[in-house]
Amino acid sequence: MTFTSPLFLVFLIFAVSINYALPQRFRHLFLILCSFVFIGFYNIESLLAVLVFSLFNFFLAQSVKGNRFLFLVGLFVNAGAILLFNYFNTATNGFVFTFSSIHFNLDCFIIALGLSFYSLQNIAFLTEVYYERIKTENSLYNFILYTSFFPKVISGPVMLPAEFFPQINRNSITKTELTIGFQRFLTGLFKKMVIADRLAPAVSSVYDYPTSYSGMTVLAATYLFTIQLYFDFSGYTDMALGIAKMLGYDLKENFDTPLRSTSVSEFWRRWHISLISWFTQYIYYPVVYKLRSFKKTAALVGILFTFFVSGIWHGIGLTFTLWALCHAVYLSFELFTKGIRVKLSERLSGIGYKLISAFIVFNAICFSNIFFRAASAEKAFALIRSVFTSFVPQQWLSGFIAPLAIGGHQADEFNLYISVFLFSVFLLFENRLNKMAKSAHYRIPYIVILLMLIMLFGVFANGARFIYMQF
């Protein structure tokens, strides 16, 4: 039951209407019930895991304040849970430990579904209570809702306790909020079904056969993958935020036009914001704080360690390690050249410096994403080699258009142009479109246009999976 499946839409209509009709004091109980149905629908093992780990963390938190031993036990168990959820495969042959890299659209993963996102919130909660930054939560119901709230349980956004608890049973739901939430949900549906799912087969057709195409085709597919990943994941986030809004909750924004970043460190402040702020707060800062007397070396060790953990979190395997290594190298480079770059930006004209930087950063991100997307390290290296050998395709139609358009017919080519046109408009005018969507005047027309675009150009694949569901 992914957010794009018809069954989920029925579930959503049911959940939103009943929640809206219920008196405020009962809503959190109803939402817990909905969350259990949502999780249990995937498989009963996931629901059991959520129940067991929620109870464990709730009761541990009651006495973790200032108790180092219990805190370490909690960290160990939750970190173990992330490894368990990410790497144990229970759907096929009982428990099979898969240390190879994770493939796309792996149906055999039971995914104790994105429960690695769930575990990050348990760790955040225990840490905040241990350091006495928040009081422990006395209500088991509130705690379960915090960790298992269904719009965010699969793939975030990762909410910190202080961001979520104050909202429980406090937010009113007006008709305007229902409209805004619905509109945000549709924006996500549009990004996923009209843009990301149209680009997915184009990327696959090139990435599955890394030695078959010329450099330009591979390069185009590589650019398209980063764009696909952005629309897939930011679309998912829009849907999560929209659903939560309709239920009376404001979840954290996860993206802030990241593909326009002018440095990689800026990119990480604008891409998957909730996850990176979790990593910054609970891994990077504690490490650098301990080593702070070593100045820049401390930051360097912090970066390497954070991306090492981030790589493991995304999946054990050479490809994710190489992806993480790329970013560790980029950020280390930026750490040591920050002074020069700030001076250079002041000397050169603003717009020129920004454009050149954004272009370099976009290419750097795309390069790292080759490892993120490729099925194996060998394939990734083969793709990189392809870019630098025979760049221009010998046959324009069969070597460039056909693989990217998934077919050599005029209709396929037309479809490709439509995709490129739609994502270009969206990428170029994203801020303006978002602003327009929020204004009371355009709210309804915006919904109508989104619905029309989804009907006309959407890929209806009965609930295609989101890329980030595998983590």
Q: Which residues bind another protein (CB under 8 A)?
A: 131-133, 265, 280-281, 284-286, 288-289, 292-293, 295-296, 298-299, 302-303, 331, 334-335, 338-339, 342, 345
Helix H, strand E, coil C: the string for 70-82 is HHHHHHHHHHHHH
Nearer Cβ to another protein (36/353): 353
Phi first, then psi: what are they for 89, rounded to 5°?
Answer: -115, 110
CB of 265 to another protein, least distance (A): 6
Which residues, other chains included, contact 422 with Cβ-Cβ below 8 Å and sequence gap of 6+?
A: 194, 195, 453, 457
Please name the residue ranges forming H helices in 98-196.
Answer: 115-130, 140-148, 150-153, 161-164, 175-190
Nearer to another protein, 84 or 331 (CB): 331
CB of 291 to another protein, least distance (A): 8
Of the pair 160, 404, the CB lying nearest another protein is at 160
d(CA 176, CA 28) in angstroms, rounded, equals 21
Q: Residue 135: how many CB atoms within 10 A of its CB?
A: 11
Separation of CA 70 from chain center: 31
- Take residue 271 and report the two structure tokens written for it: 């891409």
- 466: closest CA among 237, 129, 142? 237
Q: Pick between residue 302 and residue 311 the one whose CB is nearest to another protein.
A: 302
CA–CA separation, 354 and 358 (whole Å): 6
User: E strands, 239-314, where?
Assistant: none
Measured distance CA(258)–CA(269) in Å, rounded: 8
Burial class (CB in 10 A: 0-12, 13-18, 19+), 3: buried
Shortest Å distance, C-beta 289 to another protein: 5
Contact 246, 182 (CB under 8 A): yes
d(CA 112, CA 24): 31
* C-beta closer to another protein: residue 57 or 277: 277
Query: Which residue number, 110 or 291, has a Cβ lying nearer to another protein?
Result: 291
Give me the least distance between CB of 334 and another protein, in Å please.
7
> Counting every residue, how long is the chain?
471
Q: Decide whether 343 or 438 has the Cβ nearer to another protein.
A: 343
Q: Least distance from C-beta 345 to another protein, angstroms?
A: 8
Coil, helix or strand for 89?
strand
User: Which pair of tokens denotes residue 116?
Assistant: 């690695």
* Distance, C-alpha 317 to centroid of its chain: 19
Q: Which is nearer to another protein, 66 or 80 (CB)?
A: 66
Min separation Cβ 167 and another protein, Å: 22
Spatial contact of 463 and 4, defined as CB atoms under 8 Å apart: yes
Of residues 282 and 468, the one with the C-beta less far from another protein: 282
Nearest alpha carbon to residue 311 among 301, 300, 321: 321
- Closest approach of another protein to the CB of residue 150, in Å: 30
- Show the tokens assigned to 418: 């439509």
Measured at the alpha carbon of residue 435, what is the angle toward residues 429 and 440, in degrees to the nearest 5? Answer: 140
As measured in angstroms, the least distance from the Cβ of 7 to another protein is 42
Q: Identify which of residues 113 and 288 has a Cβ nearer to another protein in the complex.
A: 288
The nearest distance, CB 342 to another protein, in angstroms, is: 5
| Minimum CB distance to another protein, residue 293 (Å) | 6
Q: Provide the minimum distance between the beta carbon of 339 and another protein in the complex, in angstroms, as a whole number.
A: 5
**Distance between CA 85 and CA 94 in Å, rounded?**
14
How far is CA 31 from each of CA 61, 63, 113, 144, rounded to the nearest angstrom?
Answer: 23, 27, 18, 10
Q: Which is nearer to another protein, 133 or 438 (CB)?
A: 133
Min dist. Cβ of residue 361 to another protein (A): 15
Which CB, 288 or 402, lies closer to another protein? 288
